[in-house]
Amino acid sequence: MDTQALALALPLIGWASHTALLTHRLATARRDPLTGLRTRAGWTALAERVIRRHSDAVVLLLDLDDFKNLNDSHGHAAGDFALAVTAERLANWCGRHHGIAGRLGGDEFVAIARQAPDLESLQRALNQPVAHAGRRLPVSVSVGSCHVKDLPVRNLSDALATADCAMYAAKGTAGRRGTRTLHR
């Protein structure tokens, strides 16, 4: 290869390498490193698309109950393990129900299903103990949901706010945590 062709090719090779690196960084920034679920940004873009295309979509907001106590009593490694297992269970459930799961941060997860899902099967899947370091750790998850068709205007922001209210209502129930759906 002559020097003139090399001089022309090097910037193109550099540009292609830089583009590949940026694409990789963007893709990994849309995934939570602990759970592998989509981050808020990655999940939001997909969820907004689902809401536009599917009038029966249901938005779910999920929160682990007493997570601070789990971390304090069993250590952060146990807490991280519980988060990873919860994420895997949620992702598996979403896969069976044409949904998309994400992690908002901390012990808060989010999901959207294209049509009304079986929330009882989700509760059963999530509220199972987790085996870690020879111990069975209790895991309980409160779930709030919002059917977007019940909103005056179908948008993700209002659906999340409604699901959030429903989740906190579920946290307030006695006994095993449950699911709630609130309508505005």
The rounded mean pLDDT for the chain is 86
* Pair 60, 180: CB distance under 8 Å: no
The pTM assigned to this predicted structure is 0.79
* Two structure tokens written together for 18: 């830089």
What is the predicted pLDDT for the residue at 12?
Answer: 67
What is the predicted pLDDT for the residue at 174?
Answer: 39
Looking at per-residue confidence, does 23 or 122 come out higher?
122
Catalytic residue among 107, 118, 158, 164: 107
150 in catalytic set: no
Q: What percent of the chain has pLDDT over 90?
A: 70
What is the predicted pLDDT for the residue at 180?
Answer: 47
